[in-house]
């Protein structure tokens, strides 16, 4: 699974990286990211997640080799 992070998350993770483990859903993905860098916990708890088609919720089941975008709270405008 390829992961892209943005904005403040780049203080904790590389902008893009491969996740070795297979994860089924957002909850498992958050746990994996926390295992990589626990200091990102507070920010990760406020992030949304998206795949190519758009934002996803906790019911979404990841496909094999999917690309996931981790989206911190917006600060545009």
Partner 1 sequence: MAGMLAGAHHPGAGAVVLFSGEVRETNQGRAVAFLEYEAVVPLAEKMIGEILAAACEKWGLPIALARHRVGRVDIGDVAVVVITASAHRSEAYAANRYIIDRIKHEAPIWKCEHFTDGTKEWGNNCNCHAVTGDITKHIYE
Is residue 48 part of the contact set for partner 1 (CB under 8 A)?
yes
Q: Which residues contact 5 (CB under 8 A, 6 or more apart)?
A: 12, 13, 14, 15, 16, 69, 70
| Interaction of residue 66 with partner 1, rule CB under 8 A | no
Q: Which stretch binds partner 1 (CB under 8 A): 16-24, 33-41, 44-52, 60-68?
A: 44-52
Is position 6 an interface residue for partner 1 (rule: CB under 8 A)?
yes
Phi-psi bin for 25: left (phi > 0), alpha (psi -120 to 50), beta?
Answer: beta
Looking at beta carbons only, is 62 or 68 nearer to partner 1?
68
59 binds partner 1 (CB under 8 A): no
Q: Does 34 bind partner 1 (CB under 8 A)?
A: no
Straight-line distance from the first to the last Cα atom of the chain, in angstroms, rounded to the nearest whole number: 31
């Amino acid at each position: 699974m390829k992961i892209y992070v943005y904005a403040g998350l780049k203080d904790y993770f590389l902008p893009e990286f491969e996740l070795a483990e297979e994860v089924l859903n957002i909850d498992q993905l958050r746990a994996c990211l926390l295992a990589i860098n626990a200091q990102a916990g507070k920010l990760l708890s406020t992030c949304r997640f998206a795949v190519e088609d758009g934002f996803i919720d906790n019911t979404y089941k990841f496909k094999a080799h999917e690309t996931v975008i981790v989206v911190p709270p917006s600060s545009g405008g």
